Amino acid sequence: MPMNDLDLLRPATAFAAVVEEGSFRAAADRLGLSAPYVSQLVADLETRLGRQLLYRTTRKITLSADG
């Protein structure tokens, strides 16, 4: 199935919020979503793009070169 702009809108918004807020929890709070759902949106975006956008550790999130 081809990907269109609307398919990427929510995941891209979630990704941007995570980057701006610095955490999945803060991004989820800002977007009115659950943290696991925001994490899944970002993971799905990475899968669709075939690129890792974020490096995740238990303590912090940083952008990858592709992010």
Each residue of 37-63: pLDDT tens digit? 999 999 999 999 999 999 887 777 886
CATH 3.40.50.620 fits domain 5-63:
no
Which pTM was predicted?
0.83
Residue 1's pLDDT band, with cuts at 50, 70 and 90, is very low
Spell out where the chain has E strands: 54-56, 61-63
Burial class of residue 14, CB neighbours in 10 A (0-12, 13-18, 19+): buried
CA angle 14, 34, 5 (to 5 degrees): 30
CA angle 11, 17, 23 (to 5 degrees): 110
Q: In this structure, how many other beta carbons lie within 10 angstroms of the beta carbon of residue 53?
A: 18
Q: Can you give the residue ranges of every domain in the chain? A: 5-63
Residue 5's pLDDT band, with cuts at 50, 70 and 90, is low
Q: Is the per-residue pLDDT at 7 higher than 70?
A: yes
- Residue 20: both structure tokens together: 């701006």
